[in-house]
Amino acid sequence: MAEKLADQPQIQAEFRFTDEQNQLRDAVRKFSTEHFAEATVRQLMESDPPFDPKVWTRLGAELGVLGLSVPEADGGVGGTLVDQAVAIEELGARLAVGPFFGTVYLAIPAVVAASSGPARDELLGDLVEGRRTAAVAVIDRAGVFDPDAVTVTVAGDALSGTVSQVVDGGIADVLLVAARGSDGVALYVVDTTAAGVERTPLATLDLTRSEANITFASAAGHLIAGPAEAARVLDHALQVGAALLAVEQVGAAQHLLDLSVEYAKSRLQFGRPIGSFQAVKHRLADLLVDVEHARSTAYHAIWALTDGSDDPALATSIAQAVSSAALSHVATDTIQVHGGIGFTWEHQAHLYYKRAATDAVLLGSAEQHRDRVAAMVLDGATVDRVPWVADGSAV
């Protein structure tokens, strides 16, 4: 990652957003309000494909928010991952539909991290500009790349095998696929319209984030990252993806908290706003704490990946453990605070509840990341200060 750091225009103090980033936030919010209004999201999520390709193209070509941290040398705007995060938080707040997970969270960071080459350079430009979309057909182990788990094989440039539950796999134009060849595991790009690619869309709990099973039968692939760098490329992409997913969770959680607070102020029972009852008020206060904690850990991970100020593996696991739990909690309590209306199809709460359930699983659950944090900070920790434990002898 060090070579990428050299491209950073400047080091930005942690948690301090620039004026440009605040303007970016406003612009994305405006665009999202216009193009991802609840009615639009509902209509799109049950369409085929379940997103609006024209809006996607505008996100890339017009708004330029699909590859904000892509270096200028690679045809990007040379921003930072903080810029990308700001945009994703706003899109997450609106439950924006489209292959964000496959394209923005995973594929673009992977392609950026890969060494330059004709296939890679052309693909990157197309992804950033919104001309093509991507999904990553790589089974991760709770957000970490595991070469031993790769079952797709490659002979020459022909890929064969199956990858199940690929997020955005049914709607993407290209797939990034890890495949095992005679030299080891490498990363390929495969056109989804190529001969030998069969995609089976799956009915998912969350209608706003689709999945598909993919079967490759001697499908033609182009090398993106060879065996020497594939693991590094995918590790990096999964860390960036985990951090961006956490930021998306923050955006969604903040939206739900705002929604619940507004409802608690306006819904009257017993002649009073229900938010004046401490049982409701205290529940919302606890959600506020969760949202603030999630925001802190998610952006800390983003900064860790931007300036190397913290171990990105630890920072992203902290962010995922905290943010997955936070969004799940907020989404759950949003339904409770809304009462009966919150359980209806008509109300938006279930859309976020289902996104929360999905996000909590993707790239590792809160429990899996907790386990990883424990491995990093507790297991094998040496004793540097043993606390005083009273031993029963009276002083």
Partner 1 sequence: MSNDADAERVAELARGVVADHDPKKVPAREYLGACYDAGLSWVHFPEGLGGLGVSRGLQAVADRILQGAGGPVPLGLNPMGYGMAAPTIREHAQSEDVKRQWLRPLATTEDLWCQLFSEPGAGSDLAGLATSAVLDGDEWVINGQKVWTSLAHRARWGLLLARTNPDVPKHKGLSYFVIDMHSAGVETRPLRQLTGQAEFNEVYFTDARIPDKHRLGDVGNGWHVAMTTLMNERTALGGSGSRRGAGTIADATGLWASRPERQTPVLRDRLTQLWLRSEAQRLTSERSRAAATVGGPGPEGSIGKLVGAELNQHIYQWCMDFLGPEGLLYRGYDQRAATGERDWQGPIQQKFLRSRANTIEGGTSEVMRNILGERILGLPGDLRADSGMPWKEIPRG
Q: Which residue ranges make up the site for partner 1 (CB under 8 A)? A: 13-16, 257, 261, 264-265, 272-273, 275-278, 281-282, 284-286, 288-289, 292-297, 299-300, 318, 321-322, 367, 370-371, 373-374, 377-378, 381-395
Q: In this complex, which beta carbon is closest to partner 1, that of residue 222 or of residue 281?
A: 281
Looking at beta carbons only, is 48 or 391 nearer to partner 1? 391
Angle at 233 between CA 166 and CA 319, to 5 degrees: 70
Q: Using alpha carbons, list the distances in angstroms from residue 29 to 20, 32, 33, 374.
A: 14, 5, 6, 37
DSSP letter, residue 101:
I
Q: What are phi and psi of 207, to 5 degrees?
A: -75, -15
Taking the complex as a whole, the smallest distance from the CB of residue 208 to partner 1 amounts, in Å, to 27
Structure tokens at 196: 């030998």
Nearer to partner 1, 198 or 367 (CB): 367
Spatial separation of the C-alpha atoms in residues 229 and 210, rounded to whole Å: 29
| CB-based contact 8:80 (threshold 8 Å) | yes
Nearer to partner 1, 113 or 321 (CB): 321
Q: How far apart are the first and last CA of the chain?
A: 56
Give the whole-angstrom CA distance, residue 256 versus residue 262: 10
**Considering the complex, what minimum distance in angstroms separates the CB of residue 210 from partner 1?**
31
**In the bound complex, what is the minimum distance in angstroms from residue 343's beta carbon to partner 1?**
23
Nearer to partner 1, 36 or 303 (CB): 303
Smallest gap from residue 279 Cβ to partner 1 (A): 11
| Shortest distance, position 293 Cβ to partner 1, whole Å | 4
Q: Is the peptide bond before 201 cis (omega within 30 degrees of 0)?
A: no
Tell me how far, at minimum, the Cβ of 85 lies from partner 1, in Å: 14
Nearest residue (CB) to partner 1, 118 versus 387: 387
226, two tokens? 């060879």
